[in-house]
Amino acid sequence: MESVIWPERRAFWGGRRVVVTGGAGFLGSFVVERLRDLEPAEIIVPRSRDYDLREIGAIRRLLADARPDIVLHLAARVGGIGANREHPADFFYDNLMMGVQLLHESWQAGVEKFVALGTVCAYPKYTPVPFKEEDLWNGYPEETNAPYGMAKKMMLVQSQGYREQYGFNSIFLLPVNLYGPRDNFDLHSSHVIPALIRKCLEARDSGASEIVAWGDGSPTREFLYVEDAADGILLAAERYNSSEPVNLGSAFEISIKDLTELIARLTGFSGRIVWDTSKPNGQPRRKLDISRARERFGFMARTSFEEGLRRTIAWYEEHRRAADG
* One-character DSSP codes across 146-175: HHHHHHHHHHHHHHHHHHHHH---EEEEEE
Rounded-to-integer distance, Cα 121 and Cα 127, Å: 11
Q: Is 114 helix (H, G, I), strand (E, B) or coil?
A: strand
pLDDT at 272: 97
Q: Does 72 have pLDDT greater than 90?
A: yes
DSSP character for 73? E
Whether 93 is a known active-site residue: answer: no
- Give the pLDDT confidence score for residue 78 in this predicted structure: 74
Whether residue 235 lies inside any domain: the answer is yes
Residue whose C-alpha is closest to residue 70's, from 131, 115, 6, 122: 115
Query: Under a CB-based contact definition with an 8 Å cutoff, are residues 253 and 287 in contact?
Result: yes
pLDDT digits (tens, 9 = 90+) for 206-241: 999 999 998 999 999 999 999 999 999 999 999 999
CA angle 248, 52, 111 (to 5 degrees): 60
Residue 277 forms part of a structural domain: no
Rounded (10°) angle between helices 305-324 and 192-206: 60
Whether residue 89 lies inside any domain: the answer is yes
Q: Is residue 58 part of a domain?
A: yes
pLDDT at residue 300 greater than cutoff 90: yes
Q: What is the mean pLDDT of residues 47-54?
A: 96
In a domain, residue 323? The reply is: no
What CATH number does residue 8 fall under?
A: 3.40.50.720
Could you tell me the pLDDT band of residue 323, with boundaries at 50, 70 and 90?
low
Q: What is the pLDDT of residue 191?
A: 85
264-292 core/surface letters (b: 16 or more CB in 10 A; e: else):
bebbebeeebebeeeebbbbebbbbbbeb
Rounded Cα gap, residues 68 and 130, in angstroms:
36
Considering 123, 148, 179, 225, which one is annotated as catalytic? 148
What's the pLDDT at 1?
A: 37
Which residues have CB under 8 Å from 3's CB, separation 6+? none
137 part of a folded domain: yes
User: Mean pLDDT of all residues in the chain?
Assistant: 94
Distance between alpha carbon 156 and the CA centroid of its chain, in Å? 16
- 22 conformational bin, left if phi > 0, alpha if psi -120 to 50, beta if neither: left
Res 47: pLDDT: 96
C-beta separation of 31 from 13 below 8 A: no
Dihedral angle at the C-alpha atoms of 144, 150, 155, 157, nearest 10 degrees? Answer: 150
70: in domain: yes
Range of the domain at 120: 2-181+222-252+285-303
> What is this structure's pTM?
0.93
Distances (CA, A) of 308 to 181, 219, 225, 270, 272: 9, 21, 6, 21, 24
Q: Residue 250: which of 155, 180, 171, 183 has the closest Cα?
A: 180
Rounded mean pLDDT of 283-298? 94
Comparing 145 with 81, which gets the higher pLDDT? 145
Domains in the chain, number: 1
Assess whether pLDDT exceeds 50 at residue 2.
no
- DSSP 8-state secondary structure symbol assigned to residue 106: H
Residue 265 lies in a domain: no
Determine how many CB atoms are found less than 10 A away from the CB of residue 226: 25
> What is the Rg, in whole angstroms, of the alpha carbon atoms belonging to the chain?
20
